[in-house]
Amino acid sequence: MQRDVQVTVVGRVFKPNKSKVLDLNRTLNEYFRLVKWYLSFNSKSKNLLHKSNYEEAKRLFNLNTALIQTARDKAVEVLKSFEENRKEDSILSLNRVSIRFDRRCYSFSKTTNVLTPYWLTLSLSKRKRISLPIVFGERQKQRIEEALRGEWRFSTVEMVKRNGVWYAHFALTKTVTLIDNPETIIAIDRGEVNLAVAVAISRSKPEKPMKGRFWRGEEIKRIRGLYNHIRRKLQEKGRTGKVKELKGKERRKVNQQLHIIANEIVAYAKQFPKPVIVMEDLNRIRRKFKKSKRLNRRFHNLPSRKLQTTIKYKANLEGIEVRYLPKKETGNTSKTCHRCGYVTQVKGRIFKCPNCGMEYDRDLNACINIAHRVTSSMGWGSREPPEPADVTGGVKPQANAGNPIRKGWGSSLAAISWISLRE
């Protein structure tokens, strides 16, 4: 199976002269007006908007025809996302927009100029073309070099103006071949105490989960705590400008940690034969809770959604497919005993099954449930039938079941190996 993987590489426009900045600003204003104009038709059909308004748009707006088309696409996207996330009695207001250039209206190349080798040429209108030098950070530069070598395809460039500075967001695409007929399910659960938990289930022995691993994300919690503290101090002193600046710094540091964890999760998956990663789609969960402000904030604050995208991207690059749990399968993953299927309330970090007596780390139990729901739908053989304790008498409560896992929790990002408790 083939899949397109997309990545965005951000570069900064390096010291543009005044006339180029004026051209960009003028184009941004015109483009913004055009997106709003398209929005005024209140239509989500690109075709319809094109047929009835394209000629008019060409006449009214002094923009390259390719830009007229991307503005139309943008208007449709804005409208769709507004309707999806709509809260009661809210009205659509567009505050800002970035300019999307597709392959027809930009070119990008590397020159021999040592100081600023990367140049982006934009076609703004019929008569106006400008060339801008772009600078990249180290990691971004590696990606863009890969793209120049042909490892990635250039798709669009979004020109973004932030705090008076212009940035170019390059969308790069690569087609990867994903592993067919998976042999191992890698289930990932994400939560607040453990940022991520992984467990593997093999096709040949679906009843026996393997090598549970925990990522507590302690470094992320430390970074967040630290920045919260600094922010409070600054707010007391009324320095709100500085607070904003810190937000970006904090985000970059957290993202760096998420990259490390995602790399470890993909490496974990790769040790098994023909892996496929399975997790819940947190974006969907968030949409479900959009009405509740408190929950919404909680989900928004968790770096789990960002982790989800990062895992997916890195896994796909390694040929590993990421599947989301089907909607009807997402209920009660944390409240169900993975051994006997009994549903109960969980208190604390240990799942205690009143039915079969199993005691287990609560996140790991949820994770195994996620895996089981997929294995059964893939026809990997059913689990053992439920064994109520009072019937068989043979299933003993496992008092120490949680201990081998908990012992290791002190070691932050390093994961802990764990052996199946069902031997």
Binding range to Zn ion, per CB under 5 A, among 31-39, 79-87, 310-318, 346-354: 346-354
Q: Give buried/exposed letters for 360-389 (b at 16+ CB in 10 A, else e).
A: bbbbbbbbbbbbbbbbeeeebeebeeebeb
Per-residue mark of binding to Zn ion, 324-343 (x: CB under 5 A): -------------x-xx-x-
Check binding of 57 to Zn ion (CB under 5 A): no
Cβ proximity to Zn ion, 99 vs 389, nearer residue:
389
- The gap from C-alpha 102 to its chain's centroid, in whole angstroms, comes to 24
Binding range to Zn ion, per CB under 5 A, among 175-183, 205-213, 352-360, 396-404: 352-360
N- to C-terminal Cα separation, the chain: 36
Question: In this chain, which of 122, 187, 188, 356 binds Zn ion, going by CB under 5 A?
Answer: 356
Q: Give buried/exposed letters for 253-265 (b at 16+ CB in 10 A, else e).
A: bbeebbbebbebb
Cβ proximity to Zn ion, 278 vs 356, nearer residue:
356
Cβ proximity to Zn ion, 340 vs 371, nearer residue:
340
Question: In this chain, which of 353, 389, 405, 415 binds Zn ion, going by CB under 5 A?
Answer: 353
Among residues 363, 244, 229, the alpha carbon closest in space to that of 304 is found at 363
In terms of Cβ atoms closer than 10 Å to its own Cβ (0-12, 13-18, 19+), residue 11 is buried
Cβ proximity to Zn ion, 39 vs 199, nearer residue:
199
Check binding of 401 to Zn ion (CB under 5 A): no
Q: Map tokens 């997916």 to a residue.
A: 312
Asked if 243 contacts 173 with a C-beta cutoff of 8 angstroms, the reply is: no
Cβ proximity to Zn ion, 14 vs 342, nearer residue:
342
Cβ proximity to Zn ion, 182 vs 357, nearer residue:
357
H/E element, 1: none
Q: Map tokens 């965005």 to a residue.
A: 8
Cβ proximity to Zn ion, 157 vs 353, nearer residue:
353
Contacts of Zn ion in 64-93 (CB under 5 A): none
Contacts of Zn ion in 255-314 (CB under 5 A): none
Check binding of 355 to Zn ion (CB under 5 A): yes
Cβ proximity to Zn ion, 217 vs 357, nearer residue:
357
Per-residue mark of binding to Zn ion, 127-166 (x: CB under 5 A): ----------------------------------------
Question: 188: which 2 tokens?
Answer: 């990932």
Site residue total, Zn ion (CB under 5 A): 8
Least distance to Zn ion from the beta carbon of 408, Å? 24
Half-sphere exposure of 98 (CA within 13 A, CB side): 16
Long-range contacts of 148-153 (CB under 8 A, 24+ apart): 148/110, 152/7
Binding range to Zn ion, per CB under 5 A, among 145-153, 207-215, 223-231, 350-358: 350-358
**Interface with Zn ion (CB under 5 A):** 337, 339-340, 342, 353, 355-356, 358
